[in-house]
Amino acid sequence: MSMLCEGRVALVTGGSRGLGRAICLALAREGAIVAFNYLKADADADATVALIEAAGGRASAHKVSVLDKPGLAELVRSLDRGHGKIDILVNNAGYGQVVPLALMEESDWDEMLDTHVKGAFLTTQAVLRIMVRERFGRVINVSSLAGIKMMQAPVHYATAKAALKGFTESLAKEVGRYGITVNCVAPGILDEGVSDHLPPARREEYLRHCALRRVGRLDEAADMIAFLASDRASYTNGATLVVDGAV
């Protein structure tokens, strides 16, 4: 059987570690040429590239913020020059912060919304021009269970992740005519990443409600994203797929 993303070119935001790294590995394993951006962690970015190349894949790391519009434009231009297209965009860049609304600084709110939502807007806007030209594209936005269900979660984080669901649905309607699908994945608690900031009591409460009685693995969420990036999900558009073990 052929690989799910064979011959495709993918850009993943925030790909140096955690779920971003798992997404890069999954796409590369399915045959995609993978580029990812990152902000600070040089060693982690190098490790992600090394893991992909050790498995026989192709990858490149690019140190540029998702809020750096000129930097993103140059990254997209360089990928287009090098590969002639960008088929897949995964808007994954983000972070977690546990702070109650009463103690939240305005800068906390701004940074959370900017990173998750404005970053997805700027990156998607830069890549869409190429996808429209090619009449093909797969955009996958990484939301969270906290943005889909009513649950105890930091308000600015839940708001940002809920915004990505709306972004997905509206954009899917706008660009579907060009052969571009836009979907969203909303993971529950995973074994690494944002969940590292959760208090133990919150994790235990999640496990009590989860039908599978365990947290998810990074690769389980990443494999769903690789599927949505493939031709096997060609008629899935504007959807939000919850990957939470049934909470």
- At 235, list the tokens: 């008629």
Answer yes or no: is 246 within a domain. no
> Domain holding 141: CATH number?
3.40.50.720
DSSP state string for the chain:
---TTTT-EEEEES-SSHHHHHHHHHHHHTT-EEEEEESS-HHHHHHHHHHHHHTT-EEEEEE--TT-HHHHHHHHHHHHHHHS---EEEE---------GGG--HHHHHHHHIIIIIHHHHHHHHHHHHHHHHT-EEEEEE--GGGTS--S--HHHHHHHHHHHHHHHHHHHHHGGGTEEEEEEEE--BSSGGGGGS-HHHHHHHHHH-TTSSPBPHHHHHHHHHHHTSGGGTT--S-EEEESS--
Answer yes or no: is 4 within a domain. no
What pTM does this model have? 0.96
Answer yes or no: is 108 within a domain. yes
User: For position 17, what pLDDT does the model report?
Assistant: 96
Answer yes or no: is 237 within a domain. no
Q: Which domain holds residue 43?
A: 9-232
Answer yes or no: is 136 within a domain. yes
Answer yes or no: is 87 within a domain. yes
User: For position 181, what pLDDT does the model report?
Assistant: 98
User: For position 196, what pLDDT does the model report?
Assistant: 72
Answer yes or no: is 242 within a domain. no
Q: Residues with catalytic annotation?
A: 157
Count of domains observed in the chain: 1
Answer yes or no: is 78 within a domain. yes
Full pLDDT tens readout for the chain, 247 residues? 579 999 999 999 999 999 999 999 999 999 999 999 999 999 999 999 999 999 999 999 999 999 999 999 999 999 999 999 999 999 999 999 999 999 999 999 999 999 999 999 999 999 999 999 999 999 999 999 999 998 889 999 999 999 999 999 999 999 999 999 999 999 999 998 777 777 888 889 999 999 999 999 999 999 999 999 999 999 999 999 999 999 9
